[in-house]
Structure 1
Amino acid sequence: MPTVRLLADDEMPPESRAVLDDIRATRRSDFVNNFWRALAHDPKTLRRTWESLKEVMGPGVLDPKVKELIYIAVSVAHGCEYCIHSHTAAARAKGVTEAELMELHAVIGMAAETNRLVTALQVPVDEVFQVR
């Protein structure tokens, strides 16, 4: 259950509608997901978040598929069901296969297990791994 009402386009402040128009233009799609509709209550946060997301997820050194896989991994680590689903859909749209997703989940599970073990055992970081 949402904690805020999801706004339809005609219920938003003009500043929020302008951001949604940019989302549509940038993504070349009429679909605007619920995350943006929830943020539309606060045009400043909506714009800041969209501009940051556009910058980080836009063209860069990392392949777009890799960025989506990282987003999924962080979303799993943080337990964000919404982000897991939306970025899995985005990853599939960028060509990520079921086999790649399954391998990603195996890596996430392994990292979670070894992270817990090393934390519980308080294993000191090897000197060779430290940047000097």
Structure 2
Amino acid sequence: MPLLPPVSDEAAPAEVAAVYADIRATRGTEFINNFWRVLANDPALLARTWTDLKAVMGEGTLDPLTKELIYVAVSITNGCDYCIASHSTAAKARGMTPEMLMELVSVVGMANETNRLVTGLQVPVDDAFMGPFQK
């Protein structure tokens, strides 16, 4: 049960209704999911989060499926059941297969394991890995 109730279309103030309309237009659907409806309890937070999500998940160097796979991977690591479900659905719509999901989960599990080992053992970063992105 959410801490705050989802905001229905009927109860939405004008600024929330405008974001709902943009979500519908951008996504080509009438469906507004519970995440947006609960965020709508704070219209400014709703608008900011929607604007940021559109910018990050929109056109870019990474293709839409890759972005959704990354979102699923981070959601698995963060333990966000809602985001795992919603972004797995989006990834499937963009071409993710069950085999891709299983491989993704394996990579996430391996990365988490080796990250914990390296952190726990305080392994220093090799000079060979100190390229232009690390300096």
Q: TM-score range by the shorter chain?
A: over 0.9
1:37 to 2:37 alignment: yes
Query: How big is the shift at 1:51?
Result: 0.6
Q: Which runs of structure 2 are paired with 1:37-76 in the superposition (5 Å)?
A: 37-76=37-76
Aligned to 1:84: 84
- TM score, norm. by length of structure 2: 0.95
Aligned to 1:115, the other structure's residue is in SS state: helix
Aligned to 2:10: 10
Aligned length: 132
Aligned to 2:10, the other structure's residue is in SS state: helix
CA distance in 2, matches of 1:2, 1:47: 20
Aligned to 2:105: 105
Consecutive aligned runs of 4 or more in structure 1 exceeding 3 Å deviation: none
Query: How big is the shift at 1:128?
Result: 1.4
Aligned to 1:109, the other structure's residue is in SS state: helix
Superposed CA RMSD in Å reads 0.8
CA distance in 1, matches of 2:17, 2:95: 30
CA distance in 1, matches of 2:13, 2:75: 30
Task: Extract unaligned runs of 5+ from structure 1.
Answer: none
Query: How big is the shift at 1:7?
Result: 1.2
CA-to-partner distance for each residue in 1:38-76, whole Å, 9 max, x for gaps? 011111111110011001000110010000000011111
CA distance in 2, matches of 1:95, 1:30: 22
**Percent identical:** 59
- TM score, norm. by length of structure 1: 0.97
CA distance in 1, matches of 2:67, 2:109: 19
Task: Extract unaligned runs of 5+ from structure 2.
Answer: none
Aligned to 1:116: 116
